[in-house]
Amino acid sequence: MQYPVFHVPPLVAALSRTARTTLPLGVLVLAACAPLQTQNNLRAANNIVQAHTGLAVELQATAGAHAEAQRQIDALLGKPLSADDAVRVALLGSPALQALIAQTQADSAASTQSARLSNPVFGFERLLIGAGAVEITRSLSIGLLDLLTFPTRSRIDTARQEQLRLMLAGEVLRTAAQARMAWVRAVAAQQSAAYNRDVEDAAQATATLAARMQQAGNFTKLDAAQQALFAADSRQQRNRAEMASTQTREALVRALGLSPEQAAHLALPAQLPAVPKPVPATGTTPLQTALDTRLDVQLARADFTATAVAAGLARNTSLIDHVELGGLRKTYSDATPQNGFDLILPLPLFDLGDARRSAAADRVLAARNRTIATAQNAASQLREADAALRHAWQQHDISRQQIVPLAQTVLDENQLRYNGMLIGVFQLVAAAAAQAQAVRGGIAAQRDYWLADASWQAAQLGIDAGTSTALDNPSAGAASPAAGH
């Protein structure tokens, strides 16, 4: 709603020359107090990022900077990509991350703009009074309320810039975590696919031999069918594993932001790194310290601070939100010039500002409760991530120390018994299927540990890296038909 506006007549005869000169200078000095913070924000975000990754990001605003980043990426892709190198590639060349940095800088500039004073307004009026007489009015006005609220708006901008720094750091660390987790999934899926190809090759060779022995009368139809069924199931497992390998590889390509040409040169290690033997010591950091270092908790606190300062400004300006103060100089054709000032402000007749004050108070209450909820959720996530990492380590340890060796022992013993004609081919095939499934489960357990480790690191930082696994656990897949009897 537009408020009615009135002009207050000049209340003094003239403004002194000193006052007319000092006012514009004061405005300029105050306006200079709100410089752009884009580079400062990027440096502050990099300080946080480097503490956890050892890497920094930059906005590639020129063709030369982009070309240099691509050169570094190509060098990293010249060898099998490690997890740390995957993080480097993502931070160097991800277009999504570059877009995020640019958007954050745009938001920072917009926040700075909102904290600056409005430009002074110059007015000029020329009237023909009659008989050749001319009246000329010159005015120079500023937003008086803008001037009075400048310190508060500066504090709001400071709080907003802190939010932007934390948000940028969080998104960069999220990109790094997602790249690492995508790498783990891709390497595990490739490792599983390679193993399933070996199993399928061996099962197919055995099925072919069984078919020939059946034709020669040395194998029953049932025995040959059992071998053929195991071979068909192995082929199905291989197809499923190869599809999973393709999916996770493309997910890694997207997480790294690779071009089609770069994706074609992407090579991965043959297997995941070994899981550390001692149980990870994750609970050594006090909970309050971990909470204080989490970016989401810091961001919630910064949001509460900014909301509280903005609410104070809303309370103070809810009744009158615009005031203009201007200096006037009128000259007539032959008369002595007249100097004065005018004041323009809205009349609070229809809107008394109660809705604005109520909304501001409710926003503060909402921000306060969001901060409390964020801290409570963070504490729960830290406990959950700690438990998940320990559980994943135990699962892998059981698989490596017991399940896989025992399954191999059962297969070896059944092979000896089969050679001695103490058991039939059915029992041997069932043991081979169980051993293959145990190895698949071992690969999955190794993958799940490294995913849990990345999730735990993300929980320490307070970022959501999308910790759910993209694929079903291979050990939970369809059981071998031979093992189902």
pLDDT of residue 11: 28
Burial of 200 (0-12, 13-18, 19+ CB in 10 A): buried
How far apart, in whole angstroms, are the C-alpha atoms of residue 60 and residue 91? 11
Q: What superfamily would CATH give domain 33-116+149-316+353-484?
A: Outer membrane efflux proteins (OEP) (1.20.1600.10)
Beta-carbon contacts of 93 under 8 Å, excluding residues fewer than 6 positions away, are 69, 70, 73, 256, 257, 258
Report whether 23 contacts 327 (CB < 8 A).
yes
At residue 136, the 3 state secondary structure works out as strand
Report whether 196 contacts 433 (CB < 8 A).
no
H-helix or E-strand spanning residue 231: helix 221-256
pLDDT, tens digit, for every residue of 383-409?
A: 899 899 999 999 999 998 899 999 989
pLDDT of residue 115: 83
Q: What is the pLDDT along the chain (485 residues), one digit of tens a residue?
A: 333 333 333 323 333 333 343 444 454 444 445 677 888 888 889 898 988 888 889 989 899 999 999 999 999 999 999 999 999 999 998 999 999 999 999 999 988 888 888 888 888 888 887 777 888 888 888 887 778 888 888 888 888 999 999 999 999 999 999 999 999 999 999 999 998 898 888 888 888 887 887 888 877 888 788 888 888 988 998 999 999 999 999 999 999 999 999 999 999 999 999 998 877 666 556 667 777 788 889 989 999 998 998 888 888 777 777 777 778 788 877 778 888 877 777 787 777 878 888 888 898 999 999 999 998 888 888 889 989 999 999 999 999 889 999 998 988 888 888 788 787 777 877 888 888 889 999 999 999 999 999 999 899 888 887 754 433 444 333 334 444 33
What torsion, rounded to 10 degrees, do the Cα atoms 15, 21, 26, 28 define?
Answer: 130
pLDDT of residue 266: 94
pLDDT of residue 447: 94
pLDDT of residue 32: 44
pLDDT, tens digit, for every residue of 455-472?
A: 998 998 888 877 544 334
pLDDT of residue 477: 39
Locus of tokens 């991965």: 268
How far apart, in whole angstroms, are the C-alpha atoms of residue 195 and residue 444? 12
Domain ranges of the chain: 1-15+118-146+319-352, 33-116+149-316+353-484
How far apart, in whole angstroms, are the C-alpha atoms of residue 213 and residue 286? 67
H-helix or E-strand spanning residue 7: strand 5-7
